[in-house]
Structure 1
Amino acid sequence: MIGIGVDLVDVDRLRTSLARTPSLADRLFTPGERDYALAARDPTERFAARFAAKEAVLKALGVGLGAADWHDIEVVRAESGAPSLVLTGRARALSDAAGVGRWLLTLTHTARTAEAIAVALP
């Protein structure tokens, strides 16, 4: 294993931030992530899980916020519903430099909290 990252996001805090700054969703999430979240009854829970995933990836790589653009880390879903990652730009370069060959990702959320665990493997 190269690294592991975990992150928790308070759903209500993110909800407040998105309401206060509507452009925040565009800055943090790719069009695919926004489409997926906005299809839900409560999009904020899905947004929170995806934001947690982005932070968990950065932690697994041993870097801080700002090391990659938010759009460089995208959470996608298989037909089965399983989440996975697509890294581009600086996130991809950091991942490649660290020797990451594949990623494991798990997401979960309640109405109050979202969690993501990202594991970087050779």
Structure 2
Amino acid sequence: MIRGIGVDIVDLARFTRQVERTPGLIPRLFTEAERGLPVHSLAARFAAKEALIKALGGSAGTTWQEMEIVSDDLGNPGFVVHGALALLLAARNITSVHVTMTHDAGVACAFVVAEGA
């Protein structure tokens, strides 16, 4: 059963300016494994994390570091969740989270579906 859906879009030029202006933004928003990616990939991951928050109806008590986008053997993206976020998903009976991301024409976009019992 679908427990929540979320979508987010990020303007790449604006995101790039924010990252350049605020050097501490990258370590705050992204895990160590995500940080070395190109800015368009970071923007898509930011959109995915925002979309997850929307799918959950909020993220009180969790941090950006508890959401990590990883790729499977075929290159498909997925979330690995840690800490309080993992507990939040369990409390909301969410057993799997699906994510898709894209970037083109100056924007990055992500869509998330949260499924559970």
Query: For this structure pair, what is the TM-score category when the shorter chain's length is used for normalisation?
Result: over 0.9
Q: Residue 51 of structure 2: which of 35, 39, 56 is its match?
A: 56
The CA distance in 2 between the partners of 1:77 and 1:111, in whole Å, is 23
TM-score using structure 2 length: 0.93
Residue aligning to 1:104 = 98
Question: 1:15-54 to 2 correspondence within 5 Å?
Answer: 15-35=16-36, 37=37, 43-54=38-49
Contact in 2 for aligned 1:45/1:111 (Cα 8 Å):
no
**How high is the sequence identity, in percent, across the aligned residues?**
43
Deviation at 1:111, TM superposition (A): 4.7
Cα deviation, 1:47-97, whole Å, max 9, x if unaligned, reads 100000111111101115x54200111000112110000011221111111
Deviation at 1:44, TM superposition (A): 1.2
Runs of at least 5 residues in structure 1 that lack an aligned partner in the other structure: 38-42
Runs of at least 5 residues in structure 2 that lack an aligned partner in the other structure: none
TM-score using structure 1 length: 0.89
Question: 1:62-81 to 2 correspondence within 5 Å?
Answer: 62-63=57-58, 67-81=61-75
Contact in 2 for aligned 1:33/1:74 (Cα 8 Å):
yes
Deviation at 1:114, TM superposition (A): 0.5
Residue aligning to 1:3 = 4
Contact in 2 for aligned 1:9/1:52 (Cα 8 Å):
yes
Higher share in helix: 1
Aligned pair count reads: 115
Cα deviation, 1:4-37, whole Å, max 9, x if unaligned, reads 01000111111001100112111110011113x1
